Amino acid sequence: MKEFLSFLSIMIIPILISVILIYGIYKKTPCYEVFVDGAKEGLFVAIKILPYLIAIIVSISMFRASGAIEILSNLLAKPLNYFNIPTETLPIMITRSMSGSATLGILSDVVSSTGVDSYASKLGAVIVGSSETTFYVLAVYFGAIGIKKIRFALLAGLMADIFGIMAAIIVCKYFFT
Amino acid sequence: MNYVFVFLILISIITAFFTGRIEEVTNELLNSAQRAVQVSIGLIGIMAFWLGLAKIAQKSGLINLISKLISPILKLIFNELPKNSPAFSNIALNITANALGLSNAATPFGIKAMKDIKKEENKNDVATNSMCIFLAMNTAGFQIVPATVLAILIAAGAKNPTEIIIPTFIVTLSSFIFAIIIAKILAKIWKEN
């Protein structure tokens, strides 16, 4: 089962690319031109997040270099170890619902400080990849239609986020240990 | 985020003072700023490729096709909306575009869907059940390929970056379903105002 799913993990991108391209050609879409046009957006995405990355990576790195993270980790080590959760991933869990760019910054910091193939990096990647910035989504969508009384929308979103983090911990434990 | 940023840097400097690591902290400041640029540059390639491909899916009508396939399920979830509401096609387009990692394309559909729901259900500033359910679905962030995260792993030279795809998919799908269920339950018990 695990082997099959790992195989699927590797195959999903080639399959998706083939489906998109074959359908594009079948529908006589000018694939090359459209591709180039879309790729331009990718350039702007990367540039747009650079200032956020600098702010987050620099402040977190300073925080770590000062020894403050060690102190914090030592305090939290026991409960986190009990569930097999690397302490480095804690900041990701805390910021995930609040700021997408901050979370990406923290993830890149975890990747560069623990190594890209570490368990912490993989768990962090799954947590970040499987959820959305709840507060941002709420602000954009309800802002656009002038909703002030949000009722249970935020509660439902945050409960789903917490559920997602717990699911990520369980799923990663199964796949990566 | 404002306070977090200032707090992190000030605490670092104060802690460094006590642990005697002032020099390390200053060096780390310079190194990490450079690292941030490298990360961002490393993202460009894969992000551009993925968004280019996704644009083909959008222009060729593949996204529209998938949207049509999922709309019967949406009618079950949003049972308070009239069956022929234009909101359904926009909700479907929003979810499909998000699933492919096209959040820039998904947002306009999502906003359009919210406006459609508002037209059907109310004119004031109170969220309806359908709005809250749709919002919860969006906050769960269902996507098939987590392109940005993959880009970070690839840029850092991961041995096998795609191995996170299936675990991520399992988690995102289950929290997406959880979001719908919990929103449906809350819709039943939450008062109208």
Of B35, B16, B116, B151, residue with least CA distance to A129: B151
| B22-59 helix and B147-155 helix, angle to the nearest 10 degrees | 130
Q: Which residues form the domain of A157?
A: 30-176
CB–CB contact B53 A137 (8 Å)? no
Identity of the amino acid at A160: A
CA distance B116 to B169: 30
Q: Is B126 helix (H, G, I), strand (E, B) or coil?
A: strand
Per residue in B115-163, pLDDT tens? 999 998 877 889 999 999 999 999 988 988 888 899 899 888 899 898 9
Closest by Cβ to A68, choosing from B12, B167, B178:
B12
CB–CB contact B56 A38 (8 Å)? yes
Q: Which residue has the tokens 């879309």?
A: A38
Note whether B177 contacts A: Cβ–Cβ < 8 A.
no
CA distance B152 to A125: 9
Per residue in B22-48, pLDDT tens? 898 999 899 888 888 887 787 788 778
CA distance B74 to A27: 27
Q: What is the pLDDT of residue B192?
A: 66
CA distance B182 to B158: 36
Q: How many structural domains is chain A composed of?
A: 1
Q: CB–CB of A84/A177 below 8 Å?
A: yes
Cβ-based contacts of B8 with chain A (< 8 Å):
59-60, 62-63
| A100-114 helix and B22-59 helix, angle to the nearest 10 degrees | 120
Q: Among the residues of chain A, which ranges form H helices?
A: 2-26, 31-65, 68-82, 90-95, 100-114, 119-129, 134-144, 153-176
Task: Using pLDDT thresholds of 50, 70 and 90, give the confidence band for residue B175.
Answer: very high
CB–CB contact B32 A23 (8 Å)? no
Q: What is the pLDDT of residue A161?
A: 94
pLDDT (mean) for B71-93: 90
- Residue spans of the domains in chain B: they are 45-189
CA distance A161 to B5: 23
State the ipTM, two decimals.
0.81
Per residue in A69-117, pLDDT tens? 778 777 877 888 888 899 889 889 888 887 787 888 899 999 999 999 9
CB–CB contact B131 A60 (8 Å)? no
**For residue A76, is it within any domain?**
yes
Q: What is the mean pLDDT of each run of 10 residues along chain A (177 residues)?
A: 75 85 95 92 77 81 82 80 87 84 89 93 95 87 88 93 95 92
